[in-house]
Amino acid sequence: FGETTIEGLERYPARVVENLNPIKPSSIYNQSDLLTFQARLQESGYFQSVAVSADTQLADSNIAPIKVTVVENRSVKMGIGAGYSTNTGARTQLTYDDLNILGRGWRLTSSLKLEQKAQSIGGEIKLPVTSKGYRDSFNASLNRSAIEGQTLTTSQVGVKRAWGPRKREQYIGSSYLVEQQDVDGGESTTKKVGVLSYGITLRHTDNELSPTRGYLFNAQFSGAPLDALSDGKFLQSYFKTQAYYPITLSTQLIGRAEFGMVNGKNGAPEAFLFRAGGDQSVRGYAFQSLGINEGDAIVGGRYLATGSVEVIQWLSNQWGAAAFVDFGNAANRIQDLDPVYGYGLGARWKSPIGPIGADIAYGEATSKYRLHFNIGVAF
């Protein structure tokens, strides 16, 4: 490989491209390195189109210079949308993005989301990837939710550093959170915490959008270590995995499991405790309806354990039918994790953005049927 030249940059600084380049001058030519470089640029969000090439036909030379040609996205974008979730109800959303704050290539993404059971306003500023591959960001948000008799109002600000390829992504972060909890028939409380966090996600599948073989794994650790910044100390640990296995060419097995625990419950805000139930949890039960009874509400517990076994029979290249069993619960003691079960049938469609599912599930503990929607791979 030779030197790299860039064409098409008008709004953004050259380092936006240079810091995503995995190729060093004088390294041995490899076409997969060019594809990796192009994929990184396409995923960055700055460009509408990207072309990365190397000229290997230069006469009397064993050097292949690299040429990058880009068409930039508009730096400012606004959007409006509407939708519906079987977890949180009807939704209206406004978005505002600025991809070049202060002319430095800093990216602002912000949104106002109004749902029947939850409302939020927030924004995140992402800095260009550094030469060492670090992805730094700042964020702030205000959220309110009213679910199963519990109303939470949470404001938070934070910073985060992420690194690594999608197959092995890691992050560290810190945030300050203020939470007000109101419980129907119970007391109102306010908690403040300064939190440090670390997370890692492993992705080893044959296809990112519609996997048929492989596994996904996520682990997160969040804690409040300093009394001076918090109303109490706590440590939250959370693990989730999802595995895919083709039983036959047209029959697929999907397994999912998650486990969470909190040490130091009295210091942990409700946002770091656990409830179960809903589309990505135990189907057949309302969103976050499985937890601890307090007053007339369901609140979070210190322990969470859920799982799912699902079989999909693909009837064509895009359409399939599913049968599943979900189980799990949340509790304050591990010995009280008495699982409830949900059974159901569903339809699957392989869309351009990943699998879309519609399920009818029966909750054994409530003797009720519920409709659930799922879009994409939740990792």
Model confidence over 322-345: pLDDT tens digits? Answer: 999 999 999 999 999 999 999 999
208: which 2 tokens?
Answer: 């990112």
Least confident of 176-185, 234-243, 266-275, 334-343: 266-275
Kindly indicate whether the domain formed by 197-375 is annotated with CATH number 2.30.250.10: no
Domain with CATH 3.10.20.310 in the chain: 4-72
Position 60 pLDDT exceeds 70: no
Position 229 pLDDT exceeds 70: yes
β-strand 188-205 against 168-183: which pairing, if any? antiparallel
The domain at 4-72 falls in which architecture? Roll (3.10)
Position 104 pLDDT exceeds 90: no
pLDDT band of 265, cuts 50, 70, 90: low
Residues of the chain with pLDDT > 70: what percent?
Answer: 99
By the 8 A CB rule, do 126 and 107 touch? yes
Least confident of 59-63, 99-103, 224-228: 59-63
Predicted local confidence at residue 130, as pLDDT: 87
Top pLDDT among 128 and 150 is at 150
Predicted local confidence at residue 58, as pLDDT: 67
Predicted local confidence at residue 15, as pLDDT: 86
Domain with CATH 2.40.160.50 in the chain: 197-375
By the 8 A CB rule, do 117 and 89 touch? yes
Rounded to the nearest integer, the mean pLDDT of the chain is: 92
The phi-psi region of residue 218 (left if phi > 0; otherwise alpha if psi is between -120 and 50; otherwise beta) is: beta
237: which 2 tokens?
Answer: 């640990």
Query: What is the spatial distance between Cα 59 and Cα 355, in angstroms, rounded to a whole number?
Result: 49
Predicted local confidence at residue 59, as pLDDT: 56
